[in-house]
Copies of this chain bind each other. A is one copy, B any other.
Amino acid sequence: MANHRVSLYPDEATIDVPTGTLISEVIRNAGTEISQPCGGQGRCGRCAVIVTEGPVRRRSTIRLSTEDLEAGYALACQSVVEGDLKISIPEQELIARRLTTDKSARKVVVPLDYDPEKLQSVRLRKIHLDPPTLDDSIDDLTRFKRGLAETGYPDVIIPLSVLRRIGDVLRDSEWQPNVLLDTLHGNPRVIEVASTPIEPVGIALDIGTTTVTAYLIDLVSGEVKNSAAEYNEQINRGEDVISRIIFAGKGNGLQELGSLVRGTFETLLTRIQRRTGINPENIYKMTVAGNTTMIHLFLGLPPESIRKTPFIPAANQPPQFLAHDLDLPIHPEAFVDCLPGVASYVGADISAGVLASGLAESESLTLFIDIGTNGEIVLGNKEWMLTCACSAGPAFEGAGVVDGMRATEGAIEEVWIHSSTYEPTYRVIGDGKPHGICGSGLISLLSELFVTGVIDRGGNVRLDLNSPRVRSGDHGPEYVLVWAEETETAQDIVITKVDVENLMRAKAAIYAGFSVLASSVGVALSNVDQVLIGGAFGKYINVENAIKIGLLPDLPWDRFQFLGNTAVLGAYMGLLSQDARVKMNEIADRMTYLELSADNTFYDAFTAALFLPHTDISLFPSVADIWEKYKDKD
């Protein structure tokens, strides 16, 4: 049988395989993980890859749309090699995270009209100088500046490290040096001079409370050369921002948290360097998104006042600093641009997200929700924007729930409960034995418990059901999702009444957030034209389930769009485009922040939402039948 060469991207691994080999096998043989929650039966669609070159035969295309197929998508578990191939593996596979099955997530187009000469924030120039003579004996710096002025940069800033090399570089290059300038803010600044060509790359970074994501970008072409994500090493010092702020206030806590996030960044850099061979010294620019606390900890700013009324950050729009000021292992003269935030609880991740989502330029009334450890919400359009933050708490990320866990291998990500036997079926990430339940699994579980009547509209577990799954446990009433013999931990996986209450408080906080926003401007939620959901977590939520429990407003499903990590997309745009960067400041300035703790209506809205899906069922017409059905059981 003929052998074919398959090249895998972004890993750039190459492997020779015979005709008819399953692509999922090829990928595994090349040493890369690919997640197959359904066990390779073509049901889940999560092993989708993009065939960019060469012939494959697709045995099944379930879960793929016509557009997907046109774009080259194939299910790795259902497609076989028929010739030399180039295959691109979407990045989330590489970090053992699930590819969303929601197709809209693949269609996110960064609204960045990229023209390198027009948009790039760095400039590469080769300048041509006359060698000095006794009659033209100006110093090297003046000669160099004269040459730069002739190429249109009359007033440049020269850092010490460049000045120290300039004499040698001018002579080694025979007075034709390559120059890299950063032109994004203020006077152009020379970042590098060299006698050989400079190939500048940049980093767009999103520092999430839970996950840190980095994109490596070619600063000339705008190409995303690689990406990587990793858990924020600060997690062990507190799962949410409040506990990190408290940790930062003790002893060397602030320094320790700073080192931890720098350590995470270094891990990402090392991984990117291994994959691409690009030296971090060639990283000449960096933008950083993140919530306000994460930016404070990254810059070493004490965050204490963020958590105390009146909730004041040290800086919403920090100045730019240099990599060497921050002790980052990239080019020491690289600008590190922390993107602008709005308030203590609406940070740069939201300004970046709003930019990437296109909300700020949309005619349509748009609700933007970034669901992470905190829930940040923006309501508005190109005319106005109102924003608030509600502490959903870490329940949707699996924390604060007895058997909660993050969405990694072993997490139950989807649940179905039989409506008469109350016996569950579930799907586990990685397809092994379950360890616990992740955020989307909890939403799915809560929805199923409600729909089947295992819990009532107030979240109470119906102990009177005729099922061994419902019982009184150590933590009060609970539902047993998995018996001990089927789990990895050999202990029952349960959801307790307390867990349900935590989840209901989280969903109620988010619902109350956007309903207070809407009512504060006199807008009915039903008038919202589109709901854009950002955040790596937001990517995996099932809309139907989320509406059933009252986490999302009851709107037609086609008004929802999942955008993935909008923070890092905004950082990418700000890295490359001066225009986008300026717009982001405008967005941050334009957003009116509503401090919910100072809003009297929030508590009422929150309390009203502490019900499944809500105390006012008229807000959830699509769920009315379920609600009515279990009304008499309450």
Contacts and interface: CB of A to CB of B under 8 A. Distances in A.
Interface of A: 132-134, 137-142, 157-158, 160, 163-164, 166-168, 171, 299-302, 304-305, 309-319, 321, 325-326, 343-344, 593, 595, 598
B302 A132 contact: no
Given A133-B310, A310-B133, A314-B166, A305 B140 contact: yes
Contact of A137 (B139, B168, B171, B310): B310
A314 B132 contact: no
Nearest to A254: B164
B311 A163 contact: no
B164 A315 contact: no
B598 A310 contact: no
Given A141-B316, A158-B319, A164-B301, 5 more contacts: A134-B598, A137-B593, A160-B321, A160-B326, A167-B301
| Of listed A164, A300, A311, A344, residue having the most chain B CB within 10 A | A164
Central interface residue in A139, A300, A310, A326, by most chain B CB within 10 Å:
A139
Contacts of A300: 160, 164
A137 B315 contact: no
7 tightest A-B contacts by CB? A141-B315, A139-B316, A134-B310, A167-B314, A139-B313, A134-B598, A132-B312
Given A299-B164, A305-B167, A319-B163, A140 B314 contact: yes
B160 A311 contact: no
Nearest to A171: B305
A596 to B, nearest CB: 11
Contact of A163 (B168, B301, B309): B301
B312 A137 contact: yes
A167 B308 CA distance: 13
A595 B313 contact: no
A134 B343 CA distance: 11
A502 B166 CA distance: 37
B313 A140 contact: yes
Most buried by B among A133, A137, A142, A171: A137
B325 A160 contact: yes
B314 A141 contact: yes
A544 B537 CA distance: 89
Contacts of A164: 299-302, 314
A448 B612 CA distance: 111
15 contacts: A132-B310, A132-B312, A134-B310, A137-B310, A137-B344, A140-B315, A141-B316, A141-B317, A160-B325, A163-B299, A163-B318, A163-B319, A164-B299, A164-B300, A167-B312
Contacts of A167: 301-302, 304-305, 312, 314
Contacts of A325: 160
Contacts of A158: 319
Contacts of A344: 137
A89 to B, nearest CB: 39
A163 B325 CA distance: 12
Contacts of A314: 139-141, 163-164, 166-167
Contacts of A311: 134, 137
A33 B167 CA distance: 46
Contacts of A593: 137
Contacts of A138: 312, 316
Nearest to A313: B139
A511 B593 CA distance: 76
Contacts of A316: 138-139, 141-142
A299 B167 CA distance: 13
A484 to B, nearest CB: 50
Given A142-B316, A314-B166, A319-B158, A134 B595 contact: yes
A316 B132 CA distance: 14
B140 A595 contact: no
A519 to B, nearest CB: 20
Nearest to A168: B302
A73 B133 CA distance: 54
Contact of A309 (B134, B141, B313): B134
A319 B132 contact: no
B343 A160 contact: no
Given A167-B304, A305-B140, A160 B312 contact: no
A4 to B, nearest CB: 54
A451 to B, nearest CB: 41
A7 B326 CA distance: 49
A535 to B, nearest CB: 23
A150 B345 CA distance: 28
A185 to B, nearest CB: 11
A598 B132 CA distance: 14
A316 B142 CA distance: 8
Contacts of A319: 157-158, 163
A319 B142 CA distance: 11
Contact of A315 (B163, B301, B321): B163
A141 B318 contact: yes
A595 B134 CA distance: 8
Nearest to A301: B164
A603 to B, nearest CB: 15
Nearest to A341: B139
